[in-house]
Amino acid sequence: MQSSLSYGDRPIDYFVNESPNLSSKLRIHVHPNGVVEVEAPAEACQDRISAAVRRRARWISKQLDAAEEARSYSLPREYISGETHFYIGRRYRLRVTEDSSNPSAVLLKGGRIEVICRLADPAAVRRRLNEWYRGRAEDYFERRLAAVASRISWLEENPQLKLVAMKKQWGSCAPNGTIHLNPWLIRAPTECIDYVITHELCHLREHNHSKKYYEILGHHYPNWRHVKARLDGMAELILAC
């Protein structure tokens, strides 16, 4: 359900997701792409939702300003020290170190990702960093696939997993049952990674996006709508390579 209201001269458009995890309170999220989401219990009426959004309108407006500013600084990537990069949902500052005496490497240190290159050329930094992301993604996705699959009783064995870089998709399920995941998904929070894996595993039972499919997805990941909105809200930031 979509709706809108005005805060001063600013229109605020928002959409509502019914959340099975909420019993009384409403939650308001402003995603990095500027989308405003309201998580609400199933019994919440439109008047109550509108009143809650209006009470938080000042906060929402500030969050929209912050999201717009963050996008302006994050894109496009230049692969130089000081940039913000993501890894499993956290923001890290990039530090580029030129060192011709040691092998190239990528190190995760506290709140930063350090890329050590023989030549601190942006193209070389980008290539080395993306190789590191792929290596991390392969290992992490295999572990998350095992964890998610263990909770699906009808799944007899874990499917094969392959990494495929995609510009607009997070994953796909091939006709032979192979699960394809976008390596850049490693930049997203764990709950988003688990959602994408669950989404694709459910296609092993129902190979479409029918009502039956969404019933299966809802059974295995009840809060999928909110998590999908969170992931889609980060897409512009985490798919930029």
The CATH label, of 2.40.10.410, 3.40.50.920, 3.40.1350.10, 3.30.2010.10, for the domain at 135-238 is 3.30.2010.10
Given a cut of 90, is residue 145 above it in pLDDT?
yes
> How does pLDDT run across 104-144, given as a tens digit for each residue?
899 998 899 999 998 889 999 999 999 999 999 999 999 99
| Section 67-74 average pLDDT | 70
Please answer whether residues 179 and 160 qualify as being in contact, where contact means their C-beta atoms are separated by less than 8 angstroms. Answer: yes
Chain region(s) in the chain for CATH 3.30.2010.10 = 135-238
What residues form DSSP beta bridges with 2? 15
Count the neighbouring beta carbons within 10 Å of the beta carbon of residue 226.
Answer: 22
d(CA 32, CA 23): 26
d(CA 240, CA 184): 9
> How does pLDDT run across 71-108, given as a tens digit for each residue?
665 567 889 999 989 999 998 999 999 998 888 899 99
d(CA 214, CA 225): 10
Peptide bond into 20 cis (omega under 30): no
List helix spans (H) across the chain: 46-55, 57-74, 122-149, 190-202, 211-220, 224-238
Choose from 114-123, 161-170, 184-193 the range with maximum mean pLDDT. 184-193
